[in-house]
Chain A
Amino acid sequence: AQKVTQAQTEISVVEKEDVTLDCVYETRDTTYYLFWYKQPPSGELVFLIRRNSFDEQNEISGRYSWNFQKSTSSFNFTITASQVVDSAVYFCALSERYGGSQGNLIFGKGTKLSVKP
């Protein structure tokens, strides 16, 4: 069965520190998609990135970077030079269904990141 584990429940850093949020997943499918979402205090989940199982290239977007390693079933998220506005709950998610009529994202429990000034 598919599963997403975010072992870090809460992380607290001081502004300008780098921080890595861990995500480990389980799936029996060879085709799957991984996602990261950010949930600020307002409640809305904001899409950050999508990665398919055939693309292991790491990605960088500004201060954000993602490290996808199939060998360890991990999809970790690093924020460089963190800022107070990065404070939020971050969710990793997995989607196994491709091309079907029903998508189903499986979410981890989330990691609450607090960035202090």
Chain B
Amino acid sequence: ETGVTQTPRHLVMGMTNKKSLKCEQHLGHNAMYWYKQSAKKPLELMFVYSLEERVENNSVPSRFSPECPNSSHLFLHLHTLQPEDSALYLCASSQDAGVYGYTFGSGTRLTVV
């Protein structure tokens, strides 16, 4: 496989559930990102991992917990979410601080009920 792969594509979860989103890149990039895309809102950067270290956390609630076990994999662990967390969650990867752009996955469409 090439590019950035996100699973699952769709997820429906209750507010008391625990679930995880997975992102995998086979591009040899050294940085990975989580973005949130809500309806009628700009893309919001959530987390940045560079060389497997978290370098940015944009005031994201603790109910979102990222994990980057190696440079090819990125997870977003979800716990006790709210309905307003329903959104498209996009993963991206880049090389050299993203100056050549990011490669995005297809996203996970999350619905919290």
Contact with B along A90-106 (1 / 0, CB 8 A): 01000101111111110
Tell whether A33 is near chain B: CB-to-CB under 8 Å: yes
Tell whether B79 is near chain A: CB-to-CB under 8 Å: no
| Chain A: interface residue total (CB-CB under 8 A) | 25
Tell whether A42 is near chain B: CB-to-CB under 8 Å: yes
What are the 4 closest A-B residue pairs judged by CB atoms, nearest first?
A: A103-B98, A103-B97, A45-B104, A43-B107
Which of B56, B99, B109 gathers the greatest number of chain A CB atoms within 10 Å? Answer: B99
Q: Check if B97 sits within 8 Å of A107, measured CB to CB.
A: no
Contacts of B45 in A (CB 8 A): 104-105
State how many angstroms separate the Cβ of B36 from the closest Cβ of chain A.
11
A to B contact number (C-beta, < 8 Å) = 71
Partner of B102, one of A42, A99, A105: A105
Partner of B42, one of A42, A97, A100, A107: A107
Tell whether B88 is near chain A: CB-to-CB under 8 Å: yes
Separation of A92 and B90 alpha carbons in the complex (Å): 16
B interface, CB within 8 angstroms of A: 31, 41-43, 45, 48, 50-51, 55-56, 88, 90, 92, 94, 96-107, 109
- Beta-carbon nearest neighbor of A103 in chain B: B98
State how many angstroms separate the Cβ of B86 from the closest Cβ of chain A.
14
- Beta-carbon nearest neighbor of B100 in chain A: A50
State how many angstroms separate the Cβ of A116 from the closest Cβ of chain B.
22
- Beta-carbon nearest neighbor of B44 in chain A: A107
Separation of A103 and B42 alpha carbons in the complex (Å): 18
Separation of A91 and B107 alpha carbons in the complex (Å): 16
State how many angstroms separate the Cβ of B73 from the closest Cβ of chain A.
19
A63-117 interface with B by 8 A CB criterion: 91, 95, 97-105, 107-110
Separation of A33 and B102 alpha carbons in the complex (Å): 12
Q: Check if A99 sits within 8 Å of B97, measured CB to CB.
A: yes
- Beta-carbon nearest neighbor of A46 in chain B: B104
- Beta-carbon nearest neighbor of A36 in chain B: B101
Partner of A45, one of B90, B97, B98, B99: B90
Contact with B along A5-35 (1 / 0, CB 8 A): 0000000000000000000000000000101
Q: Check if B42 sits within 8 Å of A109, measured CB to CB.
A: yes
